[in-house]
A and B are shown apart, each in its own frame.
Chain A
Amino acid sequence: MPVFEYAPAPESRAIANLKDHYKPFINGEFVDGSGEPLKTVNPATEEVLAEVGTASKSDVDTAVKAARKAYTGVWSKMPGTERAKYLFRIARLIQERSRELAVLESLDNGKPIKESRDSDVPTAAAHFFYHAGWADKLEYAGYGPSPKPLGVAGQIIPWNFPLLMLAWKIAPALATGNTVVLKPAETTPLTALVFAEICQQAELPPGVVNILPGAGDIGASIVEHGDIDKIAFTGSTEVGKAIQRQVAGTPKKLTLELGGKAANIVFEDAPLDQAIEGIVNGIFFNQGHVCCAGSRLLVQESVAEEVLEKLRYRVSTLRIGDPLDKNTDIGAINSAEQLAKIRGLVESGDAEGAERWTSPCPVPDRGFFFAPTVFANVHQSMRIAREEIFGPVLSVLTFRTPDEAVAKANNTPYGLSAGIWTEKGSRILWMANQLRAGVVWANTFNRFDPAAPFGGYQESGFGREGGRTGLEAYLDV
């Protein structure tokens, strides 16, 4: 196959304004956290990027007190029109600093710059714009004449979309009149702390937003804190269940955005070349670190060989490497720990008899990388068909009839997303009806918008983010 040679085109890491030290953000100030500082590494090079101060349990307490004070003293009293202006300011500041945020995100997370630049950061800004408009229109949201905020929201977000998940959490919380204590993921705290600077630049009242870097124990301290009214968590189903157990019996309101094992279903009449692009985007976007990734490809048997052949060809053209290079399709796996998990699951696929194909692309010898991998001959009972891999690994299964496709797609405890590829409109709508998933993409995949609710059925969690539906998570209704 022809190989196109590209000159390297890296973004300058100087744009990220990387600092040696970052600190927790409490009550409008950057403070020395009393937790053990952590070092955040660039997963593409394994170099330490910065030292980050972390919170301790007592810092959680301080932050919750600040958030409570800001809630009762300022934020809940403020007219919605004024809250809206703060959110609009934040949205604009994210846009103004978008290059810096994109480069910093790619450095800290390992995701390709073209994704952080074109997807993560602009969508984060869009979430603040969207929710800004709700702040003074809540009586029109369908929750009664004057829906009330809950109070202080504790929010715990994952490492796969650090800034975007922050925006998904903070924007609706603030728009509805809540104040927040947010913990970014241990491996990706940097953009959240730059966001804290943005809160300062927006002159957001102190305590409305508090950012506490730390590990799982700080997340647990937030979850169990007695003066928090709402917990919002995005992450693994396993941790989500633990949080649901922990919150049980308390008055805290809870929303969970958990794992998935989405079926991407390709019918024989699908526009195959488009479908291939959708399949690739569905599983290799963000190195497969996507809870709604299309990780189970269900292909109609009559076109399975053709799809697999086209797919292998297309995947072999994906470029893996420096996340800051604009030509990079697949960046680094976020951490050594995650890389080990992916390897373990891939080995189980080998052991259980699936047919593995790995892209022959050159893989950097330093950093955490995993070449795109496609398993054929996958059976529903295999671990690679049942468990979330959270990496660039696709499992391919086949089906004959639409009913069989539905049965296989729904054969999972998850229910976050699904894809359908077919030219037949009536079949799309019928399939969309049958699939037990919170988001269904037809002839497309991985579309997100603040106006479109996102969230799961069953063990993919409960509650929605985005749209009118998403406001419910932060209102006392």
Chain B
Amino acid sequence: MSDRISVAKTYKLYIGGKFPRSESGRVYPVTDAKGKFLANAAHASRKDVRDAVVAARKAFPGWSSATAYNRGQVLYRVAEVLEGRRDQFVAEVSASEGLAPKKAESIVDAAIDRWVWYAGWTDKIATVLGAANPVAGPYFSFTVPEPTGVVGVLAPQGSSLLGLVEVLAPVLATGSTAVVVSSAERPLPAITLSEVLATSDVPGGVANILTGHASELGSWLASHGDVNALDPTGATPADRPDLAREAANTVKRVLRVPEAEPDWTTAPDLTRLRRYLEAKTVWHPLGV
């Protein structure tokens, strides 16, 4: 008898570079697109959100002040590790999204390429979005883009990997740090991405990934005083106004997102990078 029992995996959260269980002890079953049980995922709680924000804040000074060259290297390393685990992602995306293997392969390839695209932006953002300001006076004035801080991301519910990469990579490329709530029904590619991040030189806390429900966790991110920006993509259109109202109490940057989940395979542009940048203008007198 050659049938061996496979080693089943216990899936956990990714907070501060570690893989804890949910503080709440809760889990929820994850099934494939046909309803077959795949695994139990950790069901993140409000406390997990707060822990993740603390980790993201702690990681912010180091990540935001790392050289752009270094950030680019680290992000490219993520793409390398993603590529190495391509087959696993294809299997998980295929199961999660109910896609034929060929289709899942092209999605995973697009996700890897997207990551490479953002990796290449880290040391170009300042050139493209910054400026020397020709002011009318004896001053040197320049404007540099800077990361906005800790970003709360409600990842898309449908696109479990490509959509996740498209919402997470620009946050990291700008030098901000992220607390992500993954797709609730399709969390496995997000958990595997956590493992990739943990083994790709991304400092602990820079990206934190929680499996759970945007409808439950979103408002804690939106109302948190130490979160600077919110991407409500993964929230339902009905929940978004409330999230935006809660975000207003701390003047958070809230992304304008389309009502329906966009087609993530279309070519990316600078929009998402710009959303996580503040423009800082510095003035200095000229003279001898």
Binding site for B on A (CB under 8 A): 126, 142, 144, 237, 240-242, 244-245, 247-249, 251, 253, 256, 258, 413, 428, 432-433, 437-444, 447, 449, 451-455, 457-462, 464, 467-469, 472, 477
Can you pick out 26 interface pairs between chain A and chain B where the beta carbons lie within 8 Å of each other? A241-B249, A244-B244, A244-B247, A244-B251, A248-B242, A248-B244, A248-B247, A249-B241, A249-B244, A256-B251, A438-B278, A439-B282, A439-B283, A440-B281, A441-B282, A447-B137, A447-B139, A449-B136, A449-B141, A453-B281, A457-B148, A462-B253, A467-B131, A469-B129, A469-B279, A477-B271
Q: Are A453 and B284 in contact (CB under 8 A)?
A: no
Contact flag A443-B251 (CB < 8 Å), given A248-B241, A249-B244, A249-B245: no
Q: Which residues of B contact A462 (CB under 8 A)?
A: 251, 253
**What is the CB-to-nearest-CB distance from B227 to chain A, in angstroms, rounded to a whole number?**
11
Closest to B269 in A: A144
Q: Are A452 and B143 in contact (CB under 8 A)?
A: yes
Contact flag A447-B135 (CB < 8 Å), given A144-B269, A458-B228: yes
CA distance A248 to B255 in the complex (A): 11
Q: Are B280 and A437 in contact (CB under 8 A)?
A: yes
CA distance A442 to B280 in the complex (A): 13
Specify which of B245, B274, B283, B285 is in contact with A440 (CB 8 Å cutoff). B283
Helix, strand, loop or mixed for chain A's interface?
Answer: mixed
Helix, strand, loop or mixed for chain B's interface?
Answer: mixed
Number of interface residues of B (CB under 8 A): 39
Q: Which residues of B contact A455 (CB under 8 A)?
A: 279
Q: Which residues of B contact A444 (CB under 8 A)?
A: 139, 283-285
Q: Are B274 and A452 in contact (CB under 8 A)?
A: no
CA distance A105 to B250 in the complex (A): 34
B240 close to chain A: CB less than 8 A: yes
Q: Which residues of B contact A256 (CB under 8 A)?
A: 251
Specify which of A432, A440, A459 is in contact with B250 (CB 8 Å cutoff). A459
Q: Are B131 and A432 in contact (CB under 8 A)?
A: no
Contact flag A449-B135 (CB < 8 Å), given A256-B251, A438-B280, A443-B285: yes
Q: Which residues of B contact A438 (CB under 8 A)?
A: 278-281
Interface centre among B129, B133, B256, B269 (most CB of A within 10 A): B133
Q: Are A458 and B251 in contact (CB under 8 A)?
A: yes
Q: Which residues of A contact B269 (CB under 8 A)?
A: 144
Q: Are B283 and A467 in contact (CB under 8 A)?
A: no
B100 close to chain A: CB less than 8 A: no
Q: Are B128 and A142 in contact (CB under 8 A)?
A: yes
Q: Which residues of A contact B131 (CB under 8 A)?
A: 453, 467-469
Q: Which residues of A contact B249 (CB under 8 A)?
A: 241, 245
Contact flag A442-B133 (CB < 8 Å), given A240-B251, A477-B271: no
Q: Which residues of B contact A240 (CB under 8 A)?
A: 251
B66 close to chain A: CB less than 8 A: no
CA distance A472 to B271 in the complex (A): 11
B25 close to chain A: CB less than 8 A: no
**What is the CB-to-nearest-CB distance from A407 to chain B, in angstroms, rounded to a whole number?**
12
User: Which residues from 198 to 253 on chain B have a C-beta closer than 8 Å to any C-beta of chain A?
Assistant: 228, 240-242, 244-245, 247-251, 253
Closest to A240 in B: B251
Specify which of A241, A440, A451, A472 is in contact with B282 (CB 8 Å cutoff). A440
Q: Are B279 and A461 in contact (CB under 8 A)?
A: no
Q: Which residues of A contact B282 (CB under 8 A)?
A: 432, 439-442
Closest to A433 in B: B65
B134 close to chain A: CB less than 8 A: yes
**What is the CB-to-nearest-CB distance from B152 to chain A, in angstroms, rounded to a whole number?**
15
Contact flag A447-B283 (CB < 8 Å), given A452-B135, A452-B143: yes
**What is the CB-to-nearest-CB distance from B198 to chain A, in angstroms, rounded to a whole number?**
29
User: Which residues from 118 to 169 on chain B have a C-beta closer than 8 Å to any C-beta of chain A?
Assistant: 128-129, 131, 133-137, 139, 141, 143, 148
CA distance A468 to B284 in the complex (A): 20
**What is the CB-to-nearest-CB distance from B169 to chain A, in angstroms, rounded to a whole number?**
20
**What is the CB-to-nearest-CB distance from A290 to chain B, in angstroms, rounded to a whole number?**
15
Closest to B229 in A: A462
Q: Are A442 and B278 in contact (CB under 8 A)?
A: no
Q: Are B256 and A452 in contact (CB under 8 A)?
A: no
Q: Are A245 and B248 in contact (CB under 8 A)?
A: yes
Q: Are B248 and A472 in contact (CB under 8 A)?
A: no
CA distance A469 to B133 in the complex (A): 11
**What is the CB-to-nearest-CB distance from B51 to chain A, in angstroms, rounded to a whole number?**
22
Q: Are B248 and A241 in contact (CB under 8 A)?
A: yes
User: Which residues from 34 to 61 on chain B have a C-beta closer than 8 Å to any C-beta of chain A?
Assistant: none
CA distance A126 to B135 in the complex (A): 11
Q: Are A441 and B283 in contact (CB under 8 A)?
A: yes
CA distance A315 to B208 in the complex (A): 51
Q: Are A459 and B280 in contact (CB under 8 A)?
A: no
CA distance A245 to B252 in the complex (A): 11
Specify which of A142, A248, A413, A442 is in contact with B245 (CB 8 Å cutoff). A248
Chain A to chain B: the 4 pairs with minimum beta-carbon distance, closest first? A249-B241, A248-B244, A244-B248, A449-B135
Closest to A448 in B: B135
Contact flag A464-B248 (CB < 8 Å), given A449-B137, A452-B133: no
CA distance A251 to B137 in the complex (A): 40
CA distance A468 to B281 in the complex (A): 12
Q: Which residues of B contact A467 (CB under 8 A)?
A: 131, 133, 143, 279, 281
Contact flag A451-B134 (CB < 8 Å), given A240-B251, A469-B143: yes
CA distance A390 to B245 in the complex (A): 27
Specify which of B129, B248, B281 is in contact with A248 (CB 8 Å cutoff). B248
CA distance A258 to B252 in the complex (A): 13
Q: With A440-B280, A453-B143 given, can you name 12 additional A-B contacts, CB distance below 8 Å?
A: A240-B251, A248-B245, A432-B280, A438-B278, A442-B283, A442-B285, A447-B135, A451-B141, A452-B141, A453-B281, A457-B148, A477-B274
**What is the CB-to-nearest-CB distance from B221 to chain A, in angstroms, rounded to a whole number?**
15
Interface flags for B250-283 (1: CB within 8 Å of A; 0: not) read: 1101101000000000000111001000111111
Specify which of B129, B134, B143, B241 is in contact with A142 (CB 8 Å cutoff). B129
Q: Which residues of B contact A443 (CB under 8 A)?
A: 284-285
CA distance A444 to B141 in the complex (A): 11
Q: Are B135 and A464 in contact (CB under 8 A)?
A: no
Interface centre among B136, B280, B281 (most CB of A within 10 A): B281
Specify which of A241, A457, A477 is in contact with B278 (CB 8 Å cutoff). A457
**What is the CB-to-nearest-CB distance from A252 to chain B, in angstroms, rounded to a whole number?**
9
Q: Which residues of B contact A126 (CB under 8 A)?
A: 136
Q: Which residues of B contact A452 (CB under 8 A)?
A: 133, 135, 141, 143, 281, 283
Q: Which residues of B contact A453 (CB under 8 A)?
A: 131, 133, 143, 279, 281
Closest to B271 in A: A477
